[in-house]
Structure 1
Amino acid sequence: MRAITGFVGVLAIMLLAACEQPDEQAILEATPPQDIFAQAEGELNEGRNFNAGELFGEVERLYPYSEWARRAIIMSSFAYYQAAEFERSQAAARRFLEFYPNDEDAPYAQYLIALAYYDQITDVGRDQQATLNALQALREVIERFPGSAYARDSELKFDLAMDHLAGKEMEIGRYYLKRGQYMAAINRFQTVIDDFQTTTHVEEALHRMVEAYLALGLDEEAGKAAALLGYNSPGSDWYENTYTLMQTQGTSNGTEDRSFFRSIWSQVIRGRWL
């Protein structure tokens, strides 16, 4: 009997304590939007980015269509991005663009979508879907908001992402080249030359094409690739390597000098082989 009485007493104390504890959700719902917003900013300043994103989301939930909600949506996207919660960040940014497509922060919202993809780009040995998504989102920033600071930074990141994709093509091409699958390698290197002309990989792509053509006994095709490399990058290390390779394995067989390449350049430029 004493045990039962004691249990009832403890239970009563617990219930009383629970009643005395404030309902945090009720308090939040009674808090003005500017105060919740300030709390969220405080969390952000302390590096608690996810908590900040949640609080900014509460402003939007409790005070929809208000000016505070407009500000909170874009800030929640930023906070989630800082927390590496990329899907949440993009969802908030897309919501902002849906509700406020002509707002002054619309370029930033689109930029955050692109950044979330960009930060997920992995090394060239893995799937590059994030790179493709980043390129598409970055291009949208560039085309929809030309002249903005976000467009300028997007152009830089776009070039870097393109370089990353070209690196993936080069990795595959080198893989085929090492295994004697020369035509498959040539196709990959040609893709780099055709589709990624502004990247840092073009010089190596041309050199590797020379290697592959020489391995196939296609000296004339090797000469064309060497000519293009020599015309565009005459002082590069890749050209020097190509020149040495052509001297030792190509049509010159070590007996001709650089005039061999100059003659090829002139023929390519005049279009005789085009």
Structure 2
Amino acid sequence: MFLKRPHIALLFVSILLLSACSSKFMKLQKKGTTDEKYKAANEYYKKGDYYKAGTLFEEIVPLLKGDSLAEIAQFYNAYSQYQQRQYSMSAYLFKSFYATYANSPKAEEAFYMYANSMYKDAPNFNLDQSSTITAIDALQTFINSFPDSKYAENCVADLKDLRHRLEQKAYEKAKLYYKTSGVTIANFKAAVVAIDNFQKDFPDSEYIEELSFLKVQSQYDLASVSFENKQKERFTDALKFQEEFVDKFPKSKYLKQAEKIYEGSTKGLEKAVKYEQEVKELKAKEAARVAKEKEEASKKEEKPGDSKP
């Protein structure tokens, strides 16, 4: 029957071989000596079976403390995790190797692989970037420690990529504040602050022109919906941001919109100044009225009564 269906025969043989290999590996785990496990782990590693290699290396590393084989076992255990894309674990193991064997010929490579594992573990820009910042620190520390390393160029490229992720994250965050700024005054403020921070952190970004304009727009919108006693300051800031934008981007595609904002901010500021003046006049009149009433009350108290001597 198997001769008529060779693919079934081949599948059957493969299953038998896998079963035999699995049985051999389990037997090695249970009854194998440390030397046997070390030798098998190296063979599995060379064959690219990083799961079995890593499993055995992990078992024997604690047993090899003080042994000359401990260093290489720990090093390849870290690589086994890396090859399985267990980057968080490989980062931990490579860092631990460097801390334990700082004078090892493999110390530099271990430090680089720690930084590289952190880079591989960093998320896309739209997710939390805490680990990205840690990866940037690791890569920069490696470059500072080994400036002439053959890995330095790779670290520079990885740093550029990670910083671009932070840039995109900051850009999307600022845009989100702007898009939702119509909800509350707090959102208008948050948009201005987020864009201001972006300008400081990424002055050469490809997004800087767009966000600089959105900062002008956000500040103008904030001033427009503010209470009258806040408008003078906020329209003044809108005009300042608009002038800074035009000076930096005199040929911007947002120039016409910026000019309209300038006109609107100027009118808004004039109204705000007028309102402020009216409030001052009203306060002055009220103060004068109160003072007059006090004066009249004081005169009445000083007037002599009709009582007999």
* 1:128, distance to aligned residue in structure 2 (A): 1.5
- How do residues 18-97 of structure 1 correspond to structure 2 at under 5 angstroms? 24-31=29-36, 33=38, 35-43=39-47, 45=48, 48-58=49-59, 60-97=61-98
Pair 1:143-2:144 in alignment = yes
CA apart distance, 1:59 = 5.4
Question: Normalising by the residue count of structure 1, what TM-score does the alignment of the two structures yield?
Answer: 0.68
- The one-letter code sitting in structure 1 at the alignment partner of 2:203 is Q
Could you give the per-residue CA deviations for residues 32-88 of structure 1, whole angstroms, max 9, x where no partner exists? Answer: 84x335313234x2xx32222223335534444445432232222122012122332
The 2-side partners of 1:245 and 1:113 are apart by 49
Once residues 209 and 22 of structure 1 are traced to their aligned partners in structure 2, the CA distance between those partners, rounded to angstroms, is 67
Structure 1 171/81 Cα, relative in aligned 2: closer, same or farther at 3 Å? same
CA contact (8 A) 1:138 1:158 kept: yes
Alignment of 1:114-153 (within 5 A): 114-153=115-154
Match runs of 1:159-238 below 5 Å? 159-180=160-181, 181-215=187-221, 216=223, 217=235, 218-229=238-249
Distance 1:77 1:227, change over 3 A: farther
Tell me if structure 2 keeps the 8 A contact 1:163–1:200: no
Letter in 1 for 2:143: I
Q: Segments of 4+ in structure 1 off by > 6 A?
A: none
Distance 1:32 1:51 in 2: 10
Please, which runs of 5 or more residues in structure 1 have no aligned partner?
Answer: 1-20, 231-238, 254-274
Matched position secondary structure for 1:165: helix
Q: Over aligned residues, Cα RMSD in angstroms?
A: 3.0
| Counterparts of 2:105 and 2:202, CA distance in 1 | 34
Residue identity opposite 2:119 in structure 1: Y
- The structural deviation recorded for 1:134 is 1.1
Matched with 1:243 is 255
Q: Secondary structure at the match of 2:217?
A: helix
User: Which of the two has higher C-alpha Rg?
Assistant: 2
1:145-168 CA distances to partner (integer Å, 9 max, x unpaired)? Answer: 212132222222122212212222
* 1:163–1:201 CA contact under 8 A, matched in 2: no
How far residue 93 of structure 1 moved from its aligned partner, in angstroms, is 0.9
Q: Give deviations 1:218-251, integer Å, cap 9, x for gaps.
A: 1331220342345xxxxxxxx6322343245445
Amino acid at match of 1:40: Y
The answer to whether the Cα contact below 8 Å between 2:98 and 2:110 also exists between their aligned partners in 1 is yes
- Does structure 1 retain, via aligned residues, the 8 Å contact 2:41–2:54? no
Deviation at 1:97, TM superposition (A): 0.8
Q: What letter matches 1:159 in structure 2?
A: K
Structure 1 residues 213, 50: CA separation in 2 closer, same or farther (over 3 Å shift)? same
Secondary structure of the structure 2 residue equivalent to 1:149: coil
Contact 1:117 1:133 in 2 (8 A): yes
Corresponding pairs, count = 221
State the identity %.
19
Match of 1:257 in 2: none
